[in-house]
Amino acid sequence: METLLRTLLIILIAYYALKLIIKFATPYFLKYIQKKMGQRMEGFFGNMEQPQKQQEEGKITIDKVPSKNSKNSNVVGEYVDFEEID
């Protein structure tokens, strides 16, 4: 009987100790994860930034010239005239 009580007491103490450790360790663990994810995002999106060129005031530059071969793309299809049959 004594070993049963001793075992239950050890299990209860271990359970509450683990619960207490998790309660206090969780914020530090989440901060660590947040920091690592921030570094990953910074590495991923940091490469996408393009440096802006400083231009002289009043100078105009054109990055893309529109093509001259553009057709009217509003053509949907052929028109078919229907007649009613009695």
Question: pLDDT tens, 71-84?
Answer: 666 667 777 788 88
pTM of the model as a whole: 0.42
Please indicate whether residue 78 or residue 8 has the higher confidence score (pLDDT).
8
For the chain, state the CA radius of gyration. Answer: 36
What is the rounded average pLDDT of the residues 2-16?
A: 95
Distance of CA 2 to the CA centre of its chain: 57
Tell me the pLDDT band of 68, cut-offs 50, 70 and 90. Answer: confident
Q: Which residue has the tokens 């054109």?
A: 62
